[in-house]
Amino acid sequence: MPQVPKLGSVSGIPIGEECANFFPFGGTMFRVGRVVAVVDAILKDAQSTEDHAYFTEALCLGIEYLLQQHPKVGVLPSEARLLLAGQPNGKVVLLNDVPFGQWELLKDAGVHGKEHRDSKEWYVHLTRGNHWVKVKAFSWDMETERGKVKLERPVFPYKGELIVPLRQVAEALGIKVQQKGQTIALLPK
**Residue 180's pLDDT is what?**
87
Instruction: Return all residues near 147 (Cβ < 8 A) that are at least 6 apart.
Output: none
Answer for the pair 115, 172: CB distance below 8 angstroms, yes or no.
no
**Residue 35's pLDDT is what?**
87
**Residue 47's pLDDT is what?**
64
CA distance 39 to 17: 15
**Residue 7's pLDDT is what?**
92
Instruction: Return all residues near 70 (Cβ < 8 A) that are at least 6 apart.
Output: none
**Residue 97's pLDDT is what?**
83
**Residue 27's pLDDT is what?**
86
Average pLDDT per 10 consecutive residues for the chain, totaling 189 residues? 81 91 85 87 66 86 83 65 81 85 92 92 95 95 95 90 94 92 83
**Residue 3's pLDDT is what?**
74
**Residue 110's pLDDT is what?**
93
Instruction: Tell me which fold the domain 79-188 belongs to.
Output: Copper Amine Oxidase; Chain A, domain 1 (3.30.457)
Residue extents of the structural domains in the chain:
6-69, 79-188
Smallest CA-to-CA distance from 100 within 151, 141, 52 is with: 151
CA distance 185 to 171: 12
Distance (Å) of CA 124 to CA 3, 52, 102, 121, 160: 39, 22, 11, 10, 13
**Residue 71's pLDDT is what?**
63
**Residue 5's pLDDT is what?**
85
